[in-house]
Structure 1
Amino acid sequence: MRRSVEELNRFYAAPEGTVAQRLVAAKLNEAWPDVRGLDVLGIGYCSPYFDRFVEARRVLQAMPAAQGAEIWPADLKVRATLVEEEALPFPTALFDRILMIHALEESSTPHGLLCEASRLLSPAGRLIIAVAARGGFWAHAEKTPFGYGQPYSRMQLENALRDAELEPLAWSYALYTPPMAPFLGWAGPLDNILPRIWPLKGGLILMEAGRKPFVANTVKAQPSLLQELRDVLGVQQPVPTSREIVQ
């Protein structure tokens, strides 16, 4: 069952959520430094990360019905809507950037959700998905939303994206700092040091993906089939002839 929007709000108001927001937002800034004029979609619960998209042309938040939605102030660009995960109410290839946080781990239809994200992404668009890392501290901390649902390894997430016709392009870990009060005040330095000591202990995997390039399948006709077609159409087999090249 999904965490409710009230639970997610409380988490991001707590010290653990404040640290998570700051460290994940820094990764997003590195990946997408300029979103001017772009259409951005958040799937799941992305509200704490939307302040870095103020220059986007349009920002929409698709919140799963089982989670609930927030009411946004009328003077903000962000618009939120409740959605069914396998039928997002937007036209195909509408969005230049899609961010998925608190989306995949607790989804009852993860493949369907990723396929919908793939459908909505423009041909040159980019998607970033953040999921709890199977080997990290945060996936085992039930006082945070990342401690619920299905955590992923890097390989599992790559395979899930490819199954949805998305091609992984880049990835990184975030949240090496354990979600425990004594460590939170040192989160910045620890997230710089711990990757060298425990490289696979990041709490979240952030993976960027794009649409798979379309490659047309060409089928080479067999000689017998070509001959049958010529017979039906009354076309004679061309006979090679020699010719001179006039200088």
Structure 2
Amino acid sequence: MPDKYQNAFEQDSMAQMCTSLDEWLATPLGQHLLARESAYFDSVVANVFGFNAVQIGHPEFDLLRNCRIPQRYRVGYDGTVALRADVELLPFASQSMDLVVIPHTLEFAAHPHQVLREVERILMPEGHLIISGFNPRSLWGASRWLKQREGGFPWCGRFITLPRLKDWLSLLGFETQGGRMCCYTPPFSQTKWLQRFAFMEAAGDRWWAMGGGVYFIEAVKRVQGMRLIMPNWREPAVKSAALTPAARNVVNLNQYRKLKHPNE
């Protein structure tokens, strides 16, 4: 490795360790990630409709700002939130949400399976789920392997591979509908190095589509065998009374006799 790149990695490893993911998102690398994630969420949530939406985790960043759903909530452990709650025990009624957004929550949850089960419970049939996570099969994943002993965010998290996450969603009845990746640049902590490697963002989508440091996945909750029965608003509430065919024939016969024998 050239000396200048080696020095960049050494300076990055000596950077101050952050005590929370929100603190790390304020660093140059965190801002680099947040800009790309915000752009993705803004474009995706605008196409989801319904009545209720919730963002689970990192409420300091409003990822539902471009959503057209009227009732939007942000849930977190602390900070300025609409609802302070445990993400593994969500205080929402079953089948009450049309959209759930989970930004980098599963990697730092003690029981990520339980978080997904709660999400499945509160989502309505055909409800949408959008997840962002760190990809362990990337340069970011390699950096985590080198830095996890030092601690600090986000390298202390348990990165989940995309195939494993899809398996979990499939077992819960979700159908994957789309997604993409971003952050192909090496995870440098300094802005100048991120700018020098910015060309990798466009090249990664084309030549290394599965090597992004962050992945997004969109899924829909499916309920097998469900059929929505709606009232037939066009059918009149009370049908008009009508004579039976036999009665109609009797009436027509009487009219015929009166016409033929008016004096009777």
> TM-score, normalization: structure 1?
0.71
For the pair 1:158 / 2:166, whether they are aligned, the reply is yes
For the pair 1:70 / 2:79, whether they are aligned, the reply is yes
- Counterparts of 1:170-185 in structure 2, within 5 Å, are 170-180=178-188, 181=190, 182-185=192-195
The one-letter code matched in structure 2 to 1:174 is: C
CA distance in 1, matches of 2:197, 2:127: 32
Residues 125 and 37 of structure 1: CA distance in aligned 2, closer, same or farther (over 3 Å): closer
Match of 1:30 in 2: 43
For the pair 1:50 / 2:50, whether they are aligned, the reply is no
Tell me if the contact between 1:100 and 1:129 (Cα under 8 Å) persists in the aligned partners: yes
Match of 2:216 in 1: 206
- Counterparts of 1:93-172 in structure 2, within 5 Å, are 93-139=95-141, 140-141=143-144, 142=147, 145-172=153-180
For the pair 1:192 / 2:195, whether they are aligned, the reply is no
Classify the secondary structure of the residue corresponding to 1:13: coil
Classify the secondary structure of the residue corresponding to 1:100: strand
Tell me if the contact between 2:48 and 2:128 (Cα under 8 Å) persists in the aligned partners: no
CA distance in 2, matches of 1:112, 1:149: 17
CA distance in 2, matches of 1:108, 1:15: 28
Tell me if the contact between 1:177 and 1:183 (Cα under 8 Å) persists in the aligned partners: no
Residues 122 and 183 of structure 1: CA distance in aligned 2, closer, same or farther (over 3 Å): farther
CA RMSD, Structure 1 to Structure 2 (Å): 2.6
The one-letter code matched in structure 2 to 1:213 is: V
Instruction: Give structure 2 stretches of 5+ with no counterpart.
Output: 1-17, 227-264
CA distance in 1, matches of 2:185, 2:51: 33
> TM-score, normalization: structure 2?
0.67
Question: Offset at 1:53?
Answer: 3.7
Q: Cα deviations across residues 137-176 of structure 1 (Å, max 9, x unaligned)? A: 2233458734232222221110011122222111211211
Residues 144 and 6 of structure 1: CA distance in aligned 2, closer, same or farther (over 3 Å): closer
Match of 1:91 in 2: 93
Match of 1:241 in 2: none
Instruction: Give structure 1 stretches of 5+ with no counterpart.
Output: 73-78, 217-247
CA distance in 1, matches of 2:67, 2:19: 24
Percent pairwise identity: 22
The higher radius of gyration belongs to 2
Tell me if the contact between 2:85 and 2:91 (Cα under 8 Å) persists in the aligned partners: no
Tell me if the contact between 1:167 and 1:211 (Cα under 8 Å) persists in the aligned partners: yes
Residues 51 and 90 of structure 1: CA distance in aligned 2, closer, same or farther (over 3 Å): closer
CA distance in 2, matches of 1:186, 1:118: 42
Residues 46 and 198 of structure 1: CA distance in aligned 2, closer, same or farther (over 3 Å): farther
Question: Offset at 1:54?
Answer: 6.4
Classify the secondary structure of the residue corresponding to 2:84: strand
Residues 213 and 54 of structure 1: CA distance in aligned 2, closer, same or farther (over 3 Å): closer
Moved more, 144-153 or 115-124: 144-153
For the pair 1:80 / 2:83, whether they are aligned, the reply is yes
